[in-house]
Structure 1
Amino acid sequence: MSLTPRMRRITLHAPQLTDYELLRPDDFFALLIPGPAGLDLPADGLVGSSPRGVADLIGDRCRPELRWYTVRAHRPDVGEVDVDIVLHGDHGDHGDHSDHDHAASGPGGRWAATVTPGDVAGFVEGNGLYSPTDPSGRQVFFADVTALPALSSILTSPEPAPGVAALGSQATAHIEVDHDSDIHPIATGATVHWHVRDGGPPGLSIPRVLDGVAPEEISYAWICAEASLVQEARRFLIAQGGVAKELITFSGYWRQGEART
């Protein structure tokens, strides 16, 4: 199912997913992506020391690529997980093919653009990053399109942290995207600001992450995007907002000009 021209939702099904347990709203997993020879997985799955270790247990001919994605929804009663994957490069609907498109285009996007019902892929559970020290306090989020599924999961979760109700107006999210068509609704009580580059430079929204927020009120910040944007946004919150480093969760989902390994 296409959520936007560049975001596709795919449902994974396996009997083992009935026992899978989400620990955090932005829990991620390793997707084992089949190559030209397919992916030969035993019915009972594989057990390794890490997702990379699991992939290494598969023979050379069928060894998969590995990429990380957020669990967008989990239906244990039917053994299903939804994952939202950004399509890039030739699979997008834009002719300009920005640096973001070119850099992030890879096996995940190519697989998502061509996968059909019944195709085989692998799922290796991971963990989440979202861990506010004071879940009832003022929270600030920053994401680009690659972190949009994770941020959407946090903002729409009925229980974003143990014992805490859904995020409301005390949370503010800033999402920077390349095009208007990358925007899709997020059903949340949090305040969401969309920043469209439309040919502008990456990071143009970072000076606005403190708009309407008194820095001393911030109890937690979550920053996930392209690595240089994460670094810039984190520095801004520390230098301009006085936010303590230990209150900031951050991750560079990809690095411009480099293939993710």
Structure 2
Amino acid sequence: MSRAPIGGFEATVIAVEDLSPSFRRITFGGPGLSGFGPKTHPRDLRIKLIIPPAGATAPEFDLLGFLTEQEEAGVSWYQAWLQVDPAVRGAMRTYTVREWRDDERELVVDMVLHTDEHGHSGPAAQWAEIAEVGHSLHIIGPARDFDGPYGGIEFAPGDAHQILLAGDETAVPAIASILDSIKDSAVRGKAVLEIPRAEDIIDLPAPTGFEIEWLPRGNAEFGAMLEPAVREVVRAESKALAEVGAGQGASAEGSTAAESPARELEDVNIDEEILWDVPAALTQAAQGSSSETEKDARPFYAWIAGEAGPVKRLRRYLVQEVGVDRKQIAFMGYWRQGKAEG
């Protein structure tokens, strides 16, 4: 048995495919992934890519040995890693697993090739732009032989029969994986995807009863297309949402019912901290203030991720204005404009 739920692995690029101007698919393989592996469908599983220093085609830092040393010393590996010179250790970035092929021991990651308003890319996008077969990097993710929960998955709809998935381009790979995980189920719902341009619409098979709406953003602000589209979905599904909030006096958008404890939200300074409001992480107080809806008998479930600004506004809208039970929705600020991860 592995001593830890997660570990470090060396992954070699075995294929590179451009899906669109903004999406590049990197497929990893090699013997270094023999010990990697989620035991279930990855859904929205998060992993860490350790991007080698600029221009390097392989890791220059012995991350695997470093992790072993920190574990044996009982030291937080992440805090210790931060003390290492970035020019040596590289950069750590979080991505979601697009596909895990267990039999082949192959990991697929779809990476966004984005730039800021000045045309600058982060280290992960720069690495993806020049990645070639044979290049390698380190990955931190679930250990194959760990017998227990390893975290990193937030999509947990229970028996919800109506699902809303919404996000910008950084959430597209996770939503694509989620759709694959429910392809054989009877759930209904909609995926709302805001992308940089129309050319970024990719082939994304949807389960029966599921609709996909692509929203090319163009030069508009992040969330400019996503937010009104989510509100429209909520209006269209007001009957299901009314059922969710029945015990709280909530109905559809524009409800005038008095505010209840279930709608109280602590403010999150998205410029200083990560917005990560998911059912599994709710405090005991928040759990107690939610409605009495049984977690495995939920008519509605929503998963929303992307730039933290729109996610925060949609969080307030759905929880405070509409009255959706917080145990039935996951809000994740995947990134914040103008701020680098870590």
Alignment partner of 1:4: what SS?
Answer: coil
How many Å apart are 1:111 and its aligned residue? Answer: 0.4
Identify the range of structure 1 (135-144 vs 31-40) with the bigger mean alpha-carbon deviation: 31-40
> Is 1:233 aligned to residue 320 of structure 2?
no
Map of 1:92 onto structure 2: none
Deviates more, 1:193-202 or 1:247-256: 193-202
Letter paired with 1:68: T
> How much has 1:147 moved relative to structure 2?
0.8
Q: Give the partner amino acid of 1:252.
A: G
- Residue 212 of structure 1 is matched in structure 2 by 236
Contact 1:138 / 1:219 at 8 angstroms: preserved in 2?
Answer: yes
What does residue range 57-136 of structure 1 map to in structure 2 within 5 Å?
62-89=88-115, 98=117, 105-125=121-141, 127-132=152-157, 134-136=158-160
Larger radius of gyration: 2
Tell me if the contact between 2:311 and 2:331 (Cα under 8 Å) persists in the aligned partners: yes
CA displacement at 1:226 relative to structure 2: 0.2
Q: Out of 9-18 and 121-130, give the one that drifted further.
A: 9-18
Cα deviation 1:216-238 (Å, max 9, x = unaligned) = 35521101010011101112212
AA at the equivalent of 2:228: P
The superposition leaves residues 186-210 of structure 1 with CA deviations (integer Å, 9 ceiling, x where unpaired) of: 1112211112222233323313322
Deviation at 1:19, TM superposition (A): 3.9
**Change beyond 3 A, Cα 1:172–1:32:** same
Name the CA distance, whole Å, in 2 between partners of 1:231 and 1:70. 21
Aligned match of 1:200? 220
Match of 2:271 in 1: none
SS of alignment partner, residue 104 of structure 2:
coil
Following the alignment from structure 1 to structure 2, what is the Cα–Cα distance between the partners of residues 74 and 243?
Answer: 33
Correspondence list, 1:13-52, <5 A: 13-22=29-38, 23=40, 24-36=42-54, 38-40=58-60, 46-47=67-68, 48=70, 52=78
5+ residue gaps, structure 1, are: 90-96
- Cα deviation 1:7-59 (Å, max 9, x = unaligned): 10001123243443324411111001100465236597644566736846977
Shift of 1:78: 2.6
1:146 aligns with 2:146: no
Q: Distance in 1 between matches of 2:339 and 2:83?
A: 26
Where 1:74 maps in the other structure, the secondary structure is: strand
Distance of 1:71 and 1:54 partners within structure 2: 26
Confirm or deny: 8 A CA contact 1:33 1:111 kept in the other structure.
yes
Alignment length, in residue pairs? Answer: 244
Calculate the aligned-residue CA RMSD, in Å: 2.8
Aligned equivalent of 1:6, options 22, 27, 32: 22
Partner amino acid for 1:67? R
Query: Residue type matched to 1:78 in 2?
Result: E
Instruction: For 1:77 and 1:216, locate their aligned partners in 2 and report how far apart those are by CA, in whole Å.
Output: 44
Deviation at 1:145, TM superposition (A): 0.3
- What is the identity, as a one-letter code, of the residue corresponding to 2:164? V
Counterpart for residue 249 of structure 1:
330
**Is residue 72–residue 84 contact of structure 1 (8 Å, CA) maintained in 2?**
yes
**2: CA distance, partners of 1:221 / 1:114:** 36
Q: Which runs of 5+ in 2 are unaligned?
A: 1-16, 143-151, 244-298
Instruction: State the distance in 2 between where 1:213 and 1:19 align.
Output: 44
Bigger shift: residues 143-152 or 180-189: 180-189
Which residue of structure 1 aligns with residue 272 of structure 2? Answer: none
> 1:172 — aligned with what?
190
- Given the two structures, how large is their TM-score scaled by the length of structure 2? 0.64
Aligned position for 2:202: 184
Aligned-residue sequence identity (percent) comes to 32
Corresponding position of 1:222: 303
CA distance in 2, matches of 1:179, 1:191: 19
Q: Give the aligned residue type for 1:241.
A: V
In 2, the alpha carbon distance for the partners of 1:86 and 1:121 equals: 17
Mapped partners of 2:94, 2:137: distance in 1: 13
The one-letter code of the counterpart of 1:39 is P
Contact 1:174 1:192 in 2 (8 A): yes
Q: What is the one-letter code of the residue matched to 1:226?
A: E
Deviation larger for 139-148 or 70-79? 70-79
